[in-house]
Amino acid sequence: MSLRTVTASLLLALTALAQAAPPRLQAEVRVVTGVQVASGPAGTGYTVPLALQARLDLDWSVNERLEFHAVATPTVAVGLPGGPPDRPQLSAGVEEAYLRSPSSSLDLDAGVVRWQVAEMRLTPLLRFGGQDRLGTPRGLLGVRATVFAHPWRVRLAAASPLDNELRPSGLGALVAARVEVGSWTLEAHGFAFDRRGGGLTASGTVGRQVVYAEAWLLTEPWEGRGGVGLSGYQGDWLWTGEAAWGPADGTLEGTHETPSAVSARPSLRLSASRQLGRDATSEAVVGVAWPGSSTDPNLRVPAFDVAATLTLDRPEAVLTVRPWWQQREGIGAFGAVATVSTFF
């Protein structure tokens, strides 16, 4: 390639950047703290975690055919349960960072992209990309093509999960085909990573309620997951109820000690939320699951959890307070989390 060709290419790139619209950045800073108390046969202990987060949402229209989008939640945390007691934990919190070439019939994405498949709102059944060490969801690194052919939408991707140091860890493939049928949305999925599988998701309206469901079949080892949910209004309250079978966190792989096929369990969850005046909302969530006993995996014991959230939304800041309680096999834990957020 000649120097003249390289110079011309650079000039074209600089011209495109000069003509591009300025990037749009939305920033949110959060301070998260609280207390957690756990009691059991070994005694009672407590932790007081503290975290500082900055959620950054960047959109940049480089030109008519190229866009850049990124979402990151860098976090510094101390005192987290299970974390090192003598030093802070750090996370870059990269959720997404990709280039998109959009058109009316085809979108092309390249970078770190989240692949959303879930219909279940309270009980995640399957999640690609996992979470980082502090629980921030993380996308897959790869390329994705989305084809629009009404009433169909087809997505194909070649992608790799990322570890906590954002390094690729194996290459996989995903495909999904969605169709709108009346008031229903149906979608078929397939994937091939270390584990392979496929599934169907559906959502639609029945009367004044929203009904949704998922069904999955995974291999290596064989495993089935599924759930159904119902949501609607009762007066001023928005309620949602779900019944599901799957691992607690929707992990694809589980762990070497506890693979997801072993940790899957039935569960029921119910939430209710409502607006309180003009600047406050409340939500309550109750759940019960039947995981395998820690002493006998074939014996299922109930595990309960309850949480309530109060959010006060003011122009200068948002305050969220969330008390919670959990109990399983004679071990109880309770606490509260307070979050103060401000926007820039």
**Each residue's pLDDT expressed in tens, for the chain with a length of 344 residues:** 444 554 554 455 545 555 567 889 999 999 999 999 988 777 788 889 999 999 999 999 988 889 999 999 999 999 887 778 778 999 999 999 999 999 989 999 999 999 888 789 999 899 888 788 888 888 999 999 999 998 999 999 999 998 878 888 889 999 999 999 999 999 999 999 989 999 999 999 999 999 999 999 999 889 999 999 999 999 999 999 999 999 988 877 654 444 555 578 999 999 999 999 889 999 999 999 999 887 877 788 999 999 999 999 998 899 999 999 999 887 899 999 999 999 98
Write down the pLDDT at residue 87: 86
Query: Do 40 and 330 meet the contact criterion of CB atoms below 8 Å apart?
Result: yes
Spell out the domains of the chain, with CATH numbers in brackets: 18-343 (2.40.160.10)
Amino acid making up residue 288: V
**The pTM is what?**
0.85
What's phi and psi for 248, nearest 5 deg? -60, -35
- 214 burial (CB, 10 Å; 0-12 / 13-18 / 19+) is buried
Q: How far is CA 137 from the centre of its chain?
A: 5
Q: Could you identify the residue written with the tokens 């691992």?
A: 247
Write down the pLDDT at residue 259: 52
Angular region, 125: left φ>0, alpha ψ -120 to 50, beta rest: alpha
Write down the pLDDT at residue 205: 95
Query: Do 286 and 269 meet the contact criterion of CB atoms below 8 Å apart?
Result: yes
CA atoms of 140 and 133, how far apart (whole Å): 16
Write down the pLDDT at residue 10: 47
Write down the pLDDT at residue 46: 86
Q: Could you identify the residue written with the tokens 């993380």?
A: 138
Q: Which of 110, 109, 127 is nearest to 118 (CA)?
A: 127
Write down the pLDDT at residue 18: 53
Q: Could you identify the residue written with the tokens 């014991």?
A: 301
